[in-house]
Amino acid sequence: MNETIKLLQNRRSVREFTGEKIKDEDLELILKTAQRAASSVNGQQISLIVVRDKDKLKKISELSHNQKHIEECDAFIFVLADFYRSTYAANSVGKRNVGPKTADGVVVGAVDAGIMVNAIETAVNALGYGMTVIGAIRSSLKEFSEMLELPQYVIPIVGAALGVPKDRPLSRLKPRVPFDSFVFFDKYDAKKVEEGVEEHEKDMVAWRNENNTSQLPSYKEMIVRIYENPHNKLVEALKSQGFDVLDEIEEK
Ligand SMILES: Cc1cc2nc3c(=O)[nH]c(=O)nc-3n(C[C@H](O)[C@H](O)[C@H](O)COP(=O)(O)O)c2cc1C
Ligand 1 midpoint to CA 195 (Å)? 24
- Give the rounded distance of the alpha carbon of 232 from its chain centre: 15
Distances 148 to 144, 200, 207 between C-alpha atoms, Å? 6, 40, 39
Residue 114 lies in a domain: yes
Lowest mean pLDDT across 64-68, 152-156, 239-243, 245-249? 245-249
Residue 188 lies in a domain: no
Rounded mean pLDDT, 233-248: 90
Domain that holds residue 11: 3-167+229-240
Pocket of ligand 1 (CB under 6 A): 12-13, 15, 67, 132-136, 158, 174
What residue owns the CA closest to ligand 1's atom 30? 133
- Minimal CA–CA distance to 27: which of 145, 134, 124, 170? 124
Q: How confident is the model at residue 230 (pLDDT cuts 50, 70, 90)?
A: confident
Q: How confident is the model at residue 193 (pLDDT cuts 50, 70, 90)?
A: very high
pLDDT value for 252: 85
What residue owns the CA closest to ligand 1's atom 18? 13
pLDDT at 148 over 90: yes
Domain tally for the chain? Answer: 1
Which ligand 1 atom is the nearest neighbour of the CA of 64? 8
Residue 87 lies in a domain: yes
pLDDT at 246 over 90: no
| Phi and psi, residue 23, nearest 5° | -60, 140
Residue 172 lies in a domain: no
Pocket test for ligand 1, best of 72, 132, 162 (most atoms within 8 A of CB): 132
Which ligand 1 atom is the nearest neighbour of the CA of 15? 11
Residue 103 lies in a domain: yes
pLDDT (tens digit per residue) in 159-187: 999 999 998 788 899 999 999 999 999 99
What residue owns the CA closest to ligand 1's atom 28? 133
Rounded mean pLDDT, 64-80: 97
pLDDT value for 191: 98
Q: Computed from CA positions of residues 221, 14, 63, 151, in that sequence, does the dihedral angle turn out positive or negative?
A: negative
pLDDT at 247 over 80: no
Which amino acid does the sequence have at 38?
A: A
- Minimal CA–CA distance to 72: which of 21, 24, 128, 139? 21
Rounded mean pLDDT, 30-41: 98
pLDDT value for 167: 82
Residue 252 lies in a domain: no
Residue 82 lies in a domain: yes
Q: How confident is the model at residue 86 (pLDDT cuts 50, 70, 90)?
A: very high
pLDDT value for 209: 94
Ligand 1 midpoint to CA 135 (Å)? 7
pLDDT at 240 over 90: yes
pLDDT at 70 over 80: yes
Q: How confident is the model at residue 102 (pLDDT cuts 50, 70, 90)?
A: very high
Which ligand 1 atom is the nearest neighbour of the CA of 12? 26
CATH number, domain of 56, equals: 3.40.109.10
Q: What is the DSSP letter of 165?
A: B
What residue owns the CA closest to ligand 1's atom 15? 133
Lowest mean pLDDT across 41-55, 61-75, 105-119, 230-244? 230-244
pLDDT value for 236: 92
Residue 178 lies in a domain: no
pLDDT at 245 over 90: no
Average pLDDT in the chain: 96
Which ligand 1 atom is the nearest neighbour of the CA of 69? 11
